[in-house]
Structure 1
């Protein structure tokens, strides 16, 4: 990647309504020539600032996907992001009056940096609170720990497990975790039991005009519809409702209440053509659900602010009546801030749509980072390093991903035992046995490393010790352990899918590990699809009964079929147990010391 050049700046005056000068790279998007001209008359200026998909990236990311964007001022790419620079840019951008800062979801959790993950994302919450967010749309990843964790811990700051050990860590001021300082909203995440939203569907913010008059702006919040059945956010108690129908419903409701300025904040997105090289303020749109949303939702909605797709765009797209309105996304990982400048008619409170201006501002590193935020980031970084080195468990021998000739490994057996144990530690989750994809037919594996008996490189490590950071890094990928019902025949079909014919005529072997109460013999000399005899798959010594229902434990990613075992996705009656990382820590504590299996659970003939 190209080194960051000396960047020129363009001061963009958002209008005559007293807005602060915004330092931006690249051209804003204008709703019309009138907006481009900047003459706003007696309009009331309102500034909307938003970030999306921060994912707990406290430090400036260094990976190509998270830390670098196309250089808007020349060739190559530039490094961007980090909470301290984000805070500094926000201070420069914020207008002195009528400025509203909010999030569009996935602000924490979701493949966040390991040190953030080790502290249950509480570090991200302190940073977000200090940024001064007023509210946020619910993203899919805010449900990665489950609905109860979001409501009880993140919102109400009730400890989970033992305070200071499992959650409720001291923040940078020395005080125990105090929870979110701003609310979350979602109109289309409904309770399966009641059919009502589990969070408030919209909020109304008030801005001040001449002579102290206050004007309402309504924000309707939407979450990606498949969130309740996504692998990491799987939540059986929720239903995702159609975004367009529910957006129009609440728009009508707000208009009846006299709210004449309406905004959609949706955690779902779109992308430009040639995404990686597309300009950050470009609007050459390609695909994505946000484009259908823009074409079909109420034309009185003045702006659509999106997230989830991790892309950047700044488009003016026609509403159903043909009038342009901003449809925008500000990337992810703290790379950008989107600013939309609205101008309200002081007589009616309606948005003068032709005056709207929108800009994506990159969070460049060429200004001084905010000193207080830098102190907070350094505090949590050091805390995460200490947390990594804490002991999580003990082992008596090596656990590796190395497969024997039958497709069995000690890491795979450990993982299958863990999901079985985790499910059975909850009454509602009780399972007959556990399954774990050790080498998936497709997608990624949740086994990321080996637990080795001998001391590693970390100064805190010792022979036979599993460090906290190792436990998180080597097993799991932010997935809940589910317990589901499958018939014996469905299980047989899934087990047959361990052998998958390839286009080149070969057969790919994608073994499934099983918990210690299972013994299985497969016959690979038989044709694909006829290698599993139910009589040779023994659960607690009893053959698999094709007609009987079984309760099976596994990671959500595997059970929804994402690993390539489509027969598993026909399950019913799902129950969510622990998330993999936190559940595995509980398992290690409960076991005292773990010992490698003899790898004798599976036999493959021929």
Structure 2
């Protein structure tokens, strides 16, 4: 299934899926106590990541780093073998450490992981030495039973795809945590927290780790996959578990939560510039006892002393972007006598990998940032799965008239651009037999640009990287009024704004200066205004048809017809006209400029 991804803000225009890291030189520090401890504190390192999404190989998207001149430059980053070396280098700095993740380790993955039910993504984390992972929404994409197999191992089949195709699957050596995900009997699906002890005697300290997914998970995954589960309030679960850990003797509490936020501007030592997002109301309701919050889901990168925003909630908030391109180095100084953190700091480290050429030009390594040598055992392990997927991934699927990337509508970053239009065109063509007149593609369902070879050739692996969710197409009837209502949901302030990419012939206009519910000011099909009372046949992927990404109006559709997988529709569209031209016309416009 498809999750909601972040609003990309102005810097993200520079490259597809660009992120803002806080560099090694940009640490955030916070002092919890004004009275110095009687003895030297115990130092514990927390090495954190989030939203790995089975990125076994370098994802060929860049992170943005400051160029020292008030602007930013792209740097190649990511890849499991490079990530393993980066984690090792950070871990070597500490006598005591833990490695944790804030969810979405799996699903929406690269083809070498996805083909094998993300068993290699779990295997990578086992080799890296992960200790705890908070359950993210994507962990539920294949259902609860399959997620439980990810923890315990084995080859029981819970999906259409056969498990253990390459080798027996031992399961995760690390522990999934889910303090706010409840079974029908009221118990949590996985343990709410874990505890680690460091040092001996009077210098022994204990650190508690709490893991949570986001409350909105039911709107992001297929209902049948989470039947019998409820997703509770995150702040309430944190407060209850933090209090329990403190009563049990925890000297520090670290929360890993699959929810996050966004900042603006270039990275800076504070990292809190204009912090927005669903993480803020959660932090504002914390009752104390929490020292660090490792966040995820937004795919944004930040290191933020939240006390600068809300002095009553002085927690250190971090996020390491997406795809293992960054890793967060968090240092806690814990006074064992007082039983509390007396100092803390954090920095995001860029996991530099090899240079590559993007649809917008070369992306070179930065000489002034650390370079990591791929760890041989992880590289060999990844190579085994890449080789197993090679024939499937390298199969030619057609030709494209040029590179195509996600785009923006005059400053709205959550828009599929020409690539979204191309996919919508493919889905319309694949469902004309079901009467389809219009197709829509959600921007958060597009994960990578298409960058064909010099002759325009594309492989299945390339298009799969763009659409890795294995959705099917659904064609259904909606009235013109319902069409407007669903487009309005993209701008209703319930989550980030997003522009549904329409198929050729359908156009609409946005005016965000108008009140909610009145922001779609024009709609037309083949030049004719949409009639609110008329019925239209509309195609979307099955995720959207089920109300995903909060587009709940799609669930009102009637006379539904299920079609082929979305990836098959794109392949057929590319093969039909070699090379397939890249859509260039403007289909969505803004009236509030």
Shorter-chain TM-score bucket reads 0.5 to 0.7
Unpaired runs of 5+ residues, structure 2, are 1-10, 12-22, 354-370, 398-419, 450-455, 487-505, 511-519, 570-593
Tell me if the contact between 1:106 and 1:140 (Cα under 8 Å) persists in the aligned partners. yes
User: How many angstroms does 1:413 deviate by?
Assistant: 5.5
Tell me the residue number matched to 2:162.
Answer: 166
Tell me if the contact between 1:231 and 1:479 (Cα under 8 Å) persists in the aligned partners. no
Q: Name the count of aligned residue pairs.
A: 465
Tell me if the contact between 1:223 and 1:267 (Cα under 8 Å) persists in the aligned partners. yes
Tell me the residue number matched to 1:439.
Answer: 439
SS of the residue corresponding to residue 26 of structure 1 reads: coil
Tell me if the contact between 1:480 and 1:556 (Cα under 8 Å) persists in the aligned partners. yes
Distance 2:563 2:231 in 1: 22
Unpaired runs of 5+ residues, structure 1, are 2-23, 393-400, 417-434, 450-455, 459-466, 511-523, 538-551, 586-606
Report Cα offsets for 1:254-279 as digits up to 9, x if no partner: 233233422211111112222xx334
Tell me if the contact between 1:169 and 1:177 (Cα under 8 Å) persists in the aligned partners. no
Report Cα offsets for 1:333-364 as digits up to 9, x if no partner: 1122112211222224x2233x2222222223
Distance 1:241 1:33 in 2: 30
Match of 1:334 among 308, 324, 336: 324
- Does 2:288 align with 1:311? no
Match of 1:362 among 340, 343, 350: 350
Distance 1:233 1:312 in 2: 30
User: How many angstroms does 1:494 deviate by?
Assistant: 5.2
Tell me the residue number matched to 1:228.
Answer: 218
Change beyond 3 A, Cα 1:262–1:457: closer
Distance 1:71 1:147 in 2: 42
User: How many angstroms does 1:61 deviate by?
Assistant: 2.5
Tell me the residue number matched to 1:101.
Answer: 99
Tell me if the contact between 1:497 and 1:529 (Cα under 8 Å) persists in the aligned partners. no
Tell me if the contact between 1:217 and 1:261 (Cα under 8 Å) persists in the aligned partners. yes
Tell me if the contact between 1:140 and 1:233 (Cα under 8 Å) persists in the aligned partners. no
List aligned pairs for 1:144-543, cutoff 5 A: 144-153=141-150, 155-160=152-157, 166-170=162-166, 175-191=167-183, 193-210=184-201, 214-231=204-221, 235-237=225-227, 238-274=229-265, 277-279=266-268, 282-318=271-307, 322=312, 324-348=314-338, 350-353=339-342, 355-365=343-353, 366-388=371-393, 411-412=430-431, 439-440=439-440, 443=443, 478=469, 502=509, 507-509=523-525, 528-532=531-535
- Does 2:130 align with 1:139? no
Distance 1:264 1:402 in 2: 40
Report Cα offsets for 1:225-282 as digits up to 9, x if no partner: 10122156874523221111121121222233233422211111112222xx334862
Tell me if the contact between 2:259 and 2:296 (Cα under 8 Å) persists in the aligned partners. yes
User: How many angstroms does 1:470 deviate by?
Assistant: 9.0
Distance 1:161 1:324 in 2: 43
Tell me the residue number matched to 2:555.
Answer: 569
Change beyond 3 A, Cα 1:44–1:234: farther
RMSD after superposition: 4.8
Tell me if the contact between 1:336 and 1:361 (Cα under 8 Å) persists in the aligned partners. yes
SS of the residue corresponding to residue 306 of structure 2 reads: strand
Q: Which has the larger radius of gyration?
A: 1
User: How many angstroms does 1:560 deviate by?
Assistant: 0.7
Distance 1:281 1:119 in 2: 41
SS of the residue corresponding to residue 25 of structure 1 reads: coil
List aligned pairs for 1:74-113, cutoff 5 A: 76-77=72-73, 78-94=75-91, 95-110=93-108, 112-113=109-110
Tell me if the contact between 1:481 and 1:579 (Cα under 8 Å) persists in the aligned partners. yes
Tell me the residue number matched to 1:118.
Answer: 115
Distance 1:357 1:408 in 2: 48
Distance 2:535 2:38 in 1: 73
User: How many angstroms does 1:147 deviate by?
Assistant: 1.7
Structure with the bigger RCO (C-alpha within 8 Å, sep 6+) is: 2
Tell me if the contact between 2:28 and 2:269 (Cα under 8 Å) persists in the aligned partners. no
Report Cα offsets for 1:493-533 as digits up to 9, x if no partner: 758989887569864349xxxxxxxxxxxxx9997133249
Tell me if the contact between 2:472 and 2:542 (Cα under 8 Å) persists in the aligned partners. yes
Tell me if the contact between 2:44 and 2:94 (Cα under 8 Å) persists in the aligned partners. no
Change beyond 3 A, Cα 1:571–1:179: farther
Distance 1:156 1:437 in 2: 46
